[in-house]
Amino acid sequence: MKKDLISIKDLSAKEIEEVFALAQQIKKTKNKFASALKGKSVGLVFQKPSNRTRVSFEVGVWELGGNCIYLGPDEINLGQRETIEDVAKTLSRYLSAIVARTFSHQMVLDLARYATIPVINGLSDLEHPCQALSDLFTIKEKLKKLAGVKMAYVGDGNNVCNSLIYASSITGGNIKVATPKNYEPKKEIISTAEYLAKAYKASIELTNNPLEAVKGAEVIYTDVWTSMGQESEAEKRRRDFAGFNINEPLVAKAEKNYLFMHCLPAHRGEEVTDSIIDGEHSIVFDQAENRLHVQKAILVLLLRGIK
| Residue 175: closest CA among 148, 142, 144 | 148
Helix (H, G, I), strand (E, B) or coil at 265: coil
Question: Does residue 211 contact residue 189 with C-beta atoms inside 8 Å?
Answer: no
Using CA atoms of 222, 225, 231, 236 in order, give the dihedral in degrees to the nearest 10: 180
Active site residues: 101, 128, 131, 223, 263, 291
Q: Are 284 and 262 in contact (CB under 8 A)?
A: yes
* Nearest in space to 177 (alpha carbons), one of 139, 134, 214: 214
Length of the chain: 307
Q: How many helices (H) and strands (E) does the chain have?
A: 12, 9
Distance separating alpha carbons of residues 163 and 125, to the nearest angstrom:
11
The alpha carbon of 24 is separated from its chain's Cα centroid by a whole number of angstroms, namely: 18
Please say whether the beta carbons of 243 and 204 come within 8 A.
no
